Chains A and B, each alone.
Chain A
């Protein structure tokens, strides 16, 4: 009897220790985010921890997880305990909503479609722009090689595709012509990397292609830090307003009792301090005044949103990227 009792007892003691230590005073938040926000959230987290301590006297800890937007959403679906998700496109969060991890009105929970920062798609070209690429219609020229990731595997790449489509609809008017235009661009694509960072590496490190379709923040980062004086950024006449959304994972925060902190954390992104950090990390802040402070790095251009041109992410996904959708037909023989 003793033999059995002892292990059982020690298990019980262990379990008790475990619960007391985890319900201790430090609150932990987990922010599941996508790849190119790594540096941004390192700074935001530090600022928010200081802010929260000043406001409430509580010390908190913020854990971050980064990866491709789609795979991050999948981890949360499969049970990763994220308090907040800050992903690349609303579609990835809609999927979480479908599985009832968060409320259906998540996108109106915070200002500006729950996207505290935006960006756009522009072109990164080699220094001096040797192929003279100025706008979207240069991308279908026969002598131009394009690098962009695969919209099937990369959320970021879907924005690239939709930006080109939106331009073609504006420029040529009809949907058929938009489809022909976008297929012409993809005929010039030399490699479809599986993710956005991979495409940047192909273009920057391996000298593949003449132009990289990239998020503005990624393009600025590449031009400033990866190869100083090796690249130029070309801003097209019109492009898409990329709105990476943020959301609270209701199921998780209710269970963990972290809703207050999680809400304050996301709201912090909208404060002046948050918006400045955002601008410093090359995302466009929503706050007009702060945006104009940084107007040097964010040239003006005509921007359209997903909802204006495509209805919603759900519709765009269904029509363009689902199996058998328009993107698939581009590569059918």
Chain B
């Protein structure tokens, strides 16, 4: 059979070349740079309570943001797939706005809303909840930029689930919750995980929107990308690369393990269907 695309050799060669220029070489440069700077620079840059605090904040806030997006992303996708209502097209377009908007603009807007004198902040302040310049503010900014990932990953999968399956489940006597738990949710899991992982990964590297709402207080609300910027601003290229490399390694390990988890889940689901 004649393939539409040129042969495997050529396609793979081009893929490798393209990936090299766009991904591999820049990332390899990071690692080469770190090695070149020596272990001492690497160690000194990381052996700092501020760096630990920033890693803790970046990872927990990104994780919580991904969880929130997981829950509400599925809800939004559900509404978008199952119902028609006036303005649906517009809402559909708006879901992608966090992708299009310069993140600094989003950050400034969120900060204005959530400070004590802002529209939302002034409602929360009497309850003793301060959002801007706290880890909560960081989490909100990260939730904002991650939302489209979950919605866009889950939507097409939801579309594939026929109403008939649910009706069949109901006819067999399942409660709505049982139907959701055993019929719909398992099919969604791989897409949901993928969406949440993307949202999480995006949140880890996010800089623009967070620096405005975070307040950037050392030990409290500094995110890792800000620390990298801080090092660069002091012309400490070695320190900046050291932090970047750790970030990269941790993220890559996380992405890999989520992939593995996805594979396990879909295998398990596949087996259960056969039996």
Contact = CB atoms under 8 A, between A and B. Distances in A.
Given A194-B216, A323-B239, A71 B233 contact: yes
A191 B216 contact: yes
Given A191-B216, A205-B112, A68 B118 contact: no
Interface stretch (A35-43, A56-64, A308-316, A325-333): A325-333
B226 A190 contact: no
Contact of A190 (B48, B108, B133, B239): B133
Nearest to A99: B235
Contacts of B232: 70-71, 74
Contacts of B257: none
A193 B229 CA distance: 13
A173 interface: no
A193 B49 contact: no
B49 A206 contact: no
A198 B211 CA distance: 10
Measured as residues with beta carbon below 8 angstroms from the partner, the interface class of chain A is 20 to 34
Contact of A152 (B49, B118, B212, B233): B233
A153 B118 contact: no
B236 interface: yes
Nearest to A189: B217
Measured as residues with beta carbon below 8 angstroms from the partner, the interface class of chain B is 20 to 34
A208 interface: yes
Nearest to B212: A198
B211 A152 contact: no
Contacts of B48: 323-324
A3 to B, nearest CB: 21
B111 A68 contact: no
A154 B49 CA distance: 21
B134 to A, nearest CB: 11
Contacts of A322: 234
Contacts of B111: 202, 206
B165 interface: no
A150 B220 CA distance: 14
Interface in B207-263: 211-212, 215-219, 226, 229-230, 232-236, 239
Given A70-B233, A192-B216, A206 B239 contact: no
A191 B133 contact: yes
Given A190-B133, A206-B112, A152 B234 contact: yes
A295 interface: no
Interface of B: 44-45, 48-50, 108, 111-112, 115, 117-118, 132-133, 211-212, 215-219, 226, 229-230, 232-236, 239
8 contacts: A71-B233, A194-B226, A194-B229, A207-B117, A322-B234, A323-B44, A323-B234, A332-B219
Given A198-B211, A331-B50, 15 more contacts: A70-B234, A70-B235, A73-B235, A74-B232, A189-B217, A192-B217, A193-B211, A194-B226, A206-B111, A206-B112, A317-B234, A323-B239, A332-B219, A333-B49, A333-B219
